[in-house]
A = this chain, B = another copy of it.
Amino acid sequence: MEYDLVILGAGSGGYEAGLYAFRRGMKVAFVELSPESVGGNCLNRGCIPSKYMRHGAYLIDKFNKMENYGILPKGYEIDYKKLKEGRDNVVTTIRENFKKFAKQLNIPIYYGKGVLKDPNTVFVEGEEKTLKAKFILVATGSSPAGVGNLVPDGKNILDTDQIWALEELPRRVLIVGGGAVGVEFAYIFKKYGSEVILVEIKDRVLPSPDIPEDSGRYLGRKLREIGVDLRTKTSVESWEETPSGVKVKLTDGSEHEVDFILLGVGRRPNTRGIGLEEAGVELDERGFVKTNEYAQTSVPNVYACGDITSPLMLAHKSMYEGKIAVSHMLGERDWKKDERIIPKIIYSALEVASVGLTEEQAEDMDIEVSVGVASFVANPKAMDDGENEGFVRIVADDETGEILGCHIVGPHAGELIHQVVHMMKDRKTVEFASKSMYSHPSLSENIGIASSEVYYGPISWTKRR
């Protein structure tokens, strides 16, 4: 079989790139491990099922606020199996839609492990088929990995591949890692009724340099407020299996009995054993594929996108890179990766969204910045919705006024951030953002307010007469 483009991995990035290539007139084929893994990690074991459970937790949160709206609930019961069923139903629906749509467009999916035989040949183990390709896009994603003394065993220590099989809610759970996965599951399990201990080795949750300290600390306080036992600067010293679960000793000296440990740290790119290096594709020392601004590898007709290109493992990064790769295959040179505008979004007790530089990063780069902050506490729409927590921070170049970053904690941060993503794509200034239009009442107003704080100076500090 001969194709213009063979894509290894029909996950978020591969699938999106495939549809894009098809739409641009290319003859495309996918290679994917099995019919059950179409959609990749995000759909099957990541953002889609976790966002579903997170919405359930959000609904439970709403119970406490209903009285303010004249709604007096008579309590509720939790049925974890129904949650799982609803969640798996959404995942399956999307996965089947993926397959149906590919079929409708006549894009074949070959099932099995795809291995590069040379830069123009993919061998599909399982189906034992050889595919010839003008271009290859590698989009094989990543897998969870153990860290130190914490090796996932599916019983005492669960990773993010294994957590979905859980048939009942843990009574007590220890979550290792205060990154996106950790804070998300801490919120979910806590709201559904588990006792949750969350340990993070750094001094705060969301310790990524891309997320400002203020955002992480704000979320950390909120997690503590809802009863999560958050322990920063702490890790697991040792653990042992007991008849009823796991006994854990933490580095802060405390000991805990939990049902299991959920490991929210450590993923490795799936770049081994698929013929990459043999075909001449260069990897870096951590196993990531080296790519240029067009998502092209060291082999000109082989491209790579997503989790295998850098530790920033986000579905939309992969989708973006995949489409840029296809554009480059078609001879276009004007669409390049722009890492500045990739948003990082976390759904926990609050939504946390970041794009571009933090103040700390700007400082390290010797860029003078001004920062405008608009709190949601006094935002009328947030007050109406009973969700008036958090803030919008706009980081702007002092000299030019260009918006260099935006950091939002609060209601619908994950959607709001896109307004600034689009502005940053076009290198817009705080003047632009300040003079644009925001409906009233809306959460979006905070973007205009924060921008005005930079452009005109903070009004609350203004002293006159």
Q: Which residues of A contact B (CB under 8 A)?
A: 12, 19, 22-25, 27, 42-43, 47-48, 51-56, 59-60, 62, 65-84, 86, 90, 93-94, 97, 105-106, 192, 314-316, 319-320, 335, 338, 341-343, 345, 378, 380-381, 383-386, 412, 414-419, 421-423, 425-426, 428, 432-433, 435-444, 447, 452, 456-457, 459, 462, 464-465
List of 3 A-B pairs having minimum Cβ-Cβ separation, nearest first? A70-B83, A56-B69, A68-B86
- Chain B residue with Cβ nearest A445: B316
Q: In the complex, how many angstroms separate the beta carbon of A81 from the nearest chain B beta carbon?
A: 7
- Chain B residue with Cβ nearest A70: B83
Known: A70-B79, A439-B343, A440-B316. A426 touches B432 (CB 8 A): yes
Report the separation of the CA atoms of residues A436 and B427 in the bound assembly, to the nearest whole angstrom: 12
In the complex, what residues of B have CB within 8 A of residue A75's CB? Answer: 73-74
Report the separation of the CA atoms of residues A418 and B443 in the bound assembly, to the nearest whole angstrom: 10
In the complex, what residues of B have CB within 8 A of residue A417's CB? Answer: 439
Which of B437, B441, B459 is close to A425, meaning CB atoms less than 8 Å apart? B437
In the complex, what residues of B have CB within 8 A of residue A456's CB? Answer: 23-24
- Chain B residue with Cβ nearest A425: B436
Contact B73 A73 (CB under 8 A): yes
- Chain B residue with Cβ nearest A83: B70
Report the separation of the CA atoms of residues A42 and B384 in the bound assembly, to the nearest whole angstrom: 13
Which of A93, A314, A418 gathers the greatest number of chain B CB atoms within 10 Å? A418
Q: Can you list 21 A-B pairs with a CB-CB distance of less than 8 A? A: A22-B462, A23-B457, A42-B441, A47-B440, A47-B441, A48-B380, A53-B69, A55-B385, A56-B69, A69-B83, A71-B78, A72-B79, A72-B82, A90-B380, A106-B465, A338-B437, A341-B436, A343-B437, A412-B415, A415-B442, A418-B447
Known: A83-B69, A335-B435. A412 touches B414 (CB 8 A): no
Contact A84 B70 (CB under 8 A): yes
Contact A72 B77 (CB under 8 A): yes
Grouping DSSP codes into helix (H, G, I), strand (E, B) and loop, the A interface class, with mixed when no group exceeds half, is helix
Contact A70 B74 (CB under 8 A): no
In the complex, what residues of B have CB within 8 A of residue A423's CB? Answer: 422
Contact B435 A314 (CB under 8 A): no
Report the separation of the CA atoms of residues A428 and B76 in the bound assembly, to the nearest whole angstrom: 48
Contact B439 A90 (CB under 8 A): no
Contact B459 A19 (CB under 8 A): yes
Q: A51-B385, A422-B423 are in contact. List 10 more A-B contacts (CB 8 A).
A: A19-B459, A68-B82, A69-B83, A106-B464, A314-B439, A415-B415, A415-B442, A418-B419, A418-B438, A426-B426
Q: In the complex, how many angstroms separate the beta carbon of A208 from the nearest chain B beta carbon?
A: 15
Q: In the complex, how many angstroms separate the beta carbon of A206 from the nearest chain B beta carbon?
A: 16
- Chain B residue with Cβ nearest A106: B465
Which of B52, B94, B343, B384 is close to A90, meaning CB atoms less than 8 Å apart? B384
Which of B23, B422, B442, B465 is close to A419, meaning CB atoms less than 8 Å apart? B422
Known: A105-B462, A341-B437, A440-B47. A52 touches B83 (CB 8 A): no
Report the separation of the CA atoms of residues A386 and B53 in the bound assembly, to the nearest whole angstrom: 11
In the complex, what residues of B have CB within 8 A of residue A383's CB? Answer: 52, 90, 93-94
Report the separation of the CA atoms of residues A71 and B74 in the bound assembly, to the nearest whole angstrom: 13
Which of B76, B319, B443 is close to A73, meaning CB atoms less than 8 Å apart? B76
Report the separation of the CA atoms of residues A56 and B62 in the bound assembly, to the nearest whole angstrom: 10
Q: In the complex, how many angstroms separate the beta carbon of A97 from the nearest chain B beta carbon?
A: 6
Contact A444 B459 (CB under 8 A): no
Q: In the complex, how many angstroms separate the beta carbon of A86 from the nearest chain B beta carbon?
A: 4
